[in-house]
Amino acid sequence: MKYLEGLLLPALLALASVATAKDAPFVETTKFDNELVNLLYFDDSAVALVQELQTGKIWRSTDAGKRWKELKKQQGLGILKNPYDNKVALILSEEKHWITYDQGESWQDFKTEYPPSPQGPVSWHAQDNKKILIHELEDCFTRPCLGTTYYTEDGFESAPKKLTDDRRMCQWAKGSERFLEGQDKHDSRILCITKGRFSDRSKDFRLLMSDK
């Protein structure tokens, strides 16, 4: 057996080197003028988005990064993908934002009054891709930091509606795939932690529920 192993190992190494040379990966180089951030792939597809850090320009590829095309009308602070739907993503900017439902082939714009929160600007609905919460930048001049949250139930086909302007945090009741899975009730329920009725001290925070 040791004799056979001594013969087989060099043979296998030789075959591996031939296969490596034959199946060497194809590398395509694309030059960008600025540093890139927020590389995002849509699952089970060849579509990707990436952002230039300095300019906010957004680029899209439909062939897994071989070629890139700039999105001329969209610029942003960041790109966020819906974790429950591989066709949906958001580009968030200062006040004007964009959403896609076809992996960036087309975009719908909408506006908020202030920039998005850096602490978590979006809350997704796990079972309905049209239901989204957008959280604006918090006011931290007084403690604790509180902010405004908007909601949409039609994927921003109409202007987002204000939910609350004194929230610490808000999320959909169906904000995860397992919670209330298979149940039709509470599809539009939102839970928020907000300031107290008579005080904004954290010990007086309230948990509120809204079915709008």
Distance from C-alpha of 55 to C-alpha of 143, rounded to nearest angstrom? 33
pLDDT, one tens digit per residue, over 108-118 is: 999 999 999 99
**Cβ proximity of 109 and 97 under 8 Å:** yes
**Cβ proximity of 72 and 56 under 8 Å:** no
Query: How would residue 22 be classed by pLDDT, with cut points 50, 70 and 90?
Result: low
For 34, the token pair is: 């600025």
pLDDT at 9 (0 to 100) = 45
pLDDT, one tens digit per residue, over 125-153 is: 999 999 999 999 998 877 788 999 999 99
50 burial via Cβ count (<10 Å: 0-12, 13-18, 19+): buried
**Cβ proximity of 42 and 65 under 8 Å:** no
pLDDT, one tens digit per residue, over 150-188 is: 999 999 999 999 999 999 999 999 887 666 566 666 889
**Between residues 198 and 100, the one the model is more confident about:** 100
Distance from C-alpha of 85 to C-alpha of 97, rounded to nearest angstrom? 19
